[in-house]
Structure 1
Amino acid sequence: MMALSRADTSVLGRWWWTVDRWTLAALMTLVGFGYVMLLAASPGVAERIGASSRDMFILKQVFFLALASGVMITISLLPVKQVRRLALLGFFGALLMTAATLSMGVEIKGARRWINLPGMTLQPSEFLKPCFAVVAAWLLAEARSSGWRATAAACFLFLLVAGVLAKQPDMGMLVVVGSVFCAQLFVAGINMFIVAGCGVAGILSGIAAYFVLPHFQSRIDRFLNPESGDTYQVTIAMEAFGHGGLLGVGPGEGRLKALLPDAHADFVFAVAGEEFGLAICLLILAVFGFIVLRGLLRLLGEKDMFIILGATGLLTQFGLQAFINMASALHLIPTKGMTLPFISYGGSSVVAVALGMGMLLAMTRRRLMRTDGE
């Protein structure tokens, strides 16, 4: 791939010999899958909504995939200290913009999660997720030397994020952020009663959301009793998996994708199932699993608690987001509008995931080269 000598002391040379190239290759494989699935799913969606060009989604997403790849590699070049500073700036910037959606955001399906920008729509909470995971890791790591105040600060920031997400409302995003924070508390060695208390609080919040938020209640009811409401997309998705069988009907040959309003986004996994079959779906699942397990194994022997907590948070977030998307398409959990990392259409999502994975690659580079404040 790259003809770089181990004696090369340039920034690129040091990066190449210290970065986890297996994880990088797996991530770029997902980017490749994203491009293929975009070609398969988006033209039909563009035609159905009457877009001026059937290639509209393709052209946009190719740009975002290229941008995401550049962002991921650029951030992976950074020393750990710079990653921490970037996450801190990104967190407060994304938090302010996420809060701004409550007053000036675009309302879609009863939720205000997006801000209109020239030529695109931005979802700031997507960037809030990875940045919060790193900031929380920094505070929880600092708690070992500075005591309970750092832990209290991390909990305060989590409650602040949770409050904004609940107000939008975006319960799926809140579940992901809450799960990441609980995982980090557990790894940090926080008293188990506190971790259990967070779990109970999460369950009680879910119960409260069921009675307070009509759309949340509707999704739960339709999952438990499909006859209680509209299950059109899930029904079509399940038919797509069945139609695809083991090897699929072939690239571009799927017919059920034309009936799925979100075939290019939330239900892209169903398109993969119809056109490429169970074999490719299992391969996609295996790539996600490899990235998560490889990342966790990379932490074995790591002594820096910030790196352990930061990488754990980012990997938990990445794996959980993939699980929610695929499980929703397979009707294993209630449907949730959450993208499949690097594969679903969506500029904010793909760039935000690249931001998180770039920080992961930077933090898991071999300690041999972590000098000069890294």
Structure 2
Amino acid sequence: MSTFDLSNGANRRSDGVPADRASSRRRGNTTISAPGTPNRRNTELAMLAFAVVLPVLAYANVGLAMDDSLPAGMLGYGLGMGALALIAHLLMRRFAPYADPLMLPIATLLNGLGVVMIWRLDKAGKLLHNNYPAAANQLMWSGLGVAFFIFVMIFLKDHRVLQRYTYISMAAALVLLAAPAFFPARKEDFGAKIWIRMGAFSIQPGEFAKIILTVFFAGYLMVKRDALALASRRFMGLYLPRGRDLGPIIVIWLLSLLILIFENDLGSSFLYFGLFVVMLYVATERTSWIVFGLLMSVGGAVAVASTASHVKVRIDAWLDPMAAFSPKPPLGATEQIGQSLMALGSGGVTGSGLGQGRSWLIDFAAKSDFILGSFGEELGLTGLMAIFMLYALLVQRGLRTAVAARDPFGKLFAVGLSSAMALQVFVVAGGVTGLIPLTGMTMPFLAQGGSSVVANWALVAILLKISDNARRPGVEPSPTPEIQGGPVS
């Protein structure tokens, strides 16, 4: 049995009773677990205290560095952030007592550090004509994100219920992905149509679409995994899928290309197609799907780059990030990638110190994906690696939840949500550091963006619900109609 075995097999004793229920008594459809089983909520509370104190100290550090005094709002910020974290923790004790103890503190720490850096960039706004205070808005959206986290924690009783909406999820995701194409892009969006704007209100539907698409992928692949894994032909060491099994792959590939062509959104197209390929590989354990995915990604990117001017400009900026600083810069050249690389280089190993860098010169982008450049300059390579380790730990806990999940849908769902987080971090970090072309996606929890912070809090909440179901001692989930008969629309 592989690590991500989707057969839902159980380790049974000789008398046929599952081993994980050996110490439990059955009463109808419930299981009474053995007493004294640790749920790690006290560990979570201790880590949450650290996750609140560290951003408050960073907040004080910025104020001392820039104004030689403690910030006036430090106490309010600390109490507000602590209250949100405590409420989330108390709800965890009630509705997910056996969930992973590290996910909530990690999300809280990243969100808190992001608000501090956005506030630091706001303080330099007087030097920029088109800058505007955003820390207060980000704090408000963070509170809404925690409220959404609580909503999911209370009302999502069992993650397997989502499997009933497999094909409805696909339709909803397509609507969300297509909607921004019908709204005009602003000049500061650099041609990307990823927002729905109605007056002062704006939303980025792609952030929510990644969760909804994961529901569809998990439900579809759970039912079709045998056909995709076994019905294939071997050619040059690779298992070639049947033509009819390639249908969904072609559809997702074309969807990614359409997003890239009509919405000029390079990051989202990479995220959605990469997410599907990763989940397909986990479901089938066929490396040939990874090969096909890479070939289709490269082929699609080359085709679009040769025809779409916006994508071509970003690729040219990736190939020569310093071209904008030449005496005769090419048309459409951007300074941001070069400025980001200079900020990262200026930070060195230990950084210039919070509040003492100059990455705000990257303009408004320092509050979006380029906020990573601000962290790199002021915290240095050491601080940047610590941030990446937090993301890696969050993804690792999600994958560990997938391994422990007792139902095949939960396994695939947890893998998909964790992979979506990992892919988004890679896409943003790769663009800011010059590893891949710039995409303009939002760094989860750190960067300014209401849609992003709310969607990522919901993502963490769903992972915690799956984790609670997986870690709860002596409980084997009862079969449900949608798992026995496949997803229904």
TM-score by length of 2: 0.67
Equivalent position to 2:309, from 203, 214, 219: 214
Question: Per-residue deviation at 1:310?
Answer: 1.2
Would you say the 8 A contact 1:244–1:276 is kept in 2?
A: yes
* Aligned ranges 1:78-157 → 2 under 5 Å: 78=156, 79-84=158-163, 92-107=171-186, 108-144=189-225, 155=249
Deviation at 1:263, TM superposition (A): 0.8
- Superposed, 1:194-273 pairs within 5 Å as 194-226=289-321, 228=323, 229=330, 230-273=333-376
Alignment partner of 1:61: what SS? helix
Matched with 2:402 is: 299
Separation in 2, partners of 1:11, 1:26: 17
Q: CA deviation at 1:175?
A: 0.6
Partner of 1:7: none
Corresponding residue for residue 19 of structure 1: 99
| Cα pair distance change 1:165/1:248, threshold 3 Å | same
Deviation at 1:192?
A: 4.7
Give the equivalent residue in structure 1 for 2:423: 320
Task: Please give the alpha-carbon distance, in whole angstroms, between the structure 2 residues aligned to 1:47 and 1:226.
Answer: 25
Amino acid at match of 1:241: L
Equivalent of 1:63 in 140, 143, 167? 140
CA contact (8 A) 1:311 1:363 kept: yes
> How far apart are the structure 1 equivalents of 2:297 and 2:111?
33
Structure 1 residues 101 and 41, CA gap change in structure 2 (3 angstroms): same
Report SS of the residue matched to 1:116: strand
Indicate the SS of the match to 2:111: helix
1:176 corresponds in structure 2 to 271
Q: CA deviation at 1:62?
A: 0.6
The 3-state SS of whatever aligns with 1:212 is coil
Match of 1:39 in 2: 119
Is the 8 Å Cα contact of residues 236 and 260 (structure 1) preserved in structure 2?
A: no
1:189 positional shift: 0.7
Q: Which has the higher contact order (CA 8 A, sep 6+)?
A: 1
The residue identity in structure 1 corresponding to 2:252 is F
Partner of residue 414, structure 2: 311
Q: Which whole-Å CA distance do the structure 1 matches of 2:165 and 2:152 have between them?
A: 9
Aligned twin of 1:162: 256
Q: Give the structure with the higher percent helix.
A: 1
Unaligned runs of 5+ in 2: 1-39, 44-89, 232-243, 324-329, 481-489
Distance 1:328 1:63 in 2: 28
Contact kept, 8 Å, 2:344 with 2:376, in 1: the verdict is yes
Structure 1, residues 30-52: CA drift from partner, whole Å, max 9, x if none?
Answer: 1111122111223435762446x
Change (3 A) 1:245 1:104: closer
- Local SS of the residue matching 1:286: helix
Q: 1:294 to 1:121 in 2, by over 3 A?
A: same
Q: 1:259, CA displacement in angstroms?
A: 3.9
Give the percent of matched residue pairs that are identical in Structure 1 and Structure 2. 26
- Tell me the CA shift for residue 235 of structure 1: 1.9
2:446 aligned partner, one-letter code: I
Distance 1:3 1:291, change over 3 A: closer
Deviation of 1:69 after TM superposition, in Å, equals: 2.2
User: Whole-Å Cα distance in 2 between the matches of residues 11 and 357 of structure 1?
Assistant: 14
Q: Tell me by how many angstroms 1:201 deviates.
A: 1.7
Q: 1:205 offset after TM fit, Å?
A: 0.4
Secondary structure in 2 matching 1:262: helix
Cα pair 1:87 1:131 within 8 Å, conserved: no
Indicate the larger mover: 88-97 or 330-339. 88-97
Residues 160, 353 of structure 1: alpha-carbon distance in 2 compared, 3 angstrom cutoff: farther
Moved more, 197-206 or 226-235: 226-235
**Paired positions, count:** 366
Normalised to the residue count of structure 1, the TM-score between the two structures is: 0.85
Distance of aligned partners of 1:276 and 1:192 in 2 relative to their CA distance in 1, 3 Å threshold: closer
Instruction: Please say if residues 106 and 116 of structure 1, whose CA atoms lie closer than 8 Å, have aligned partners that are also in contact.
Output: no
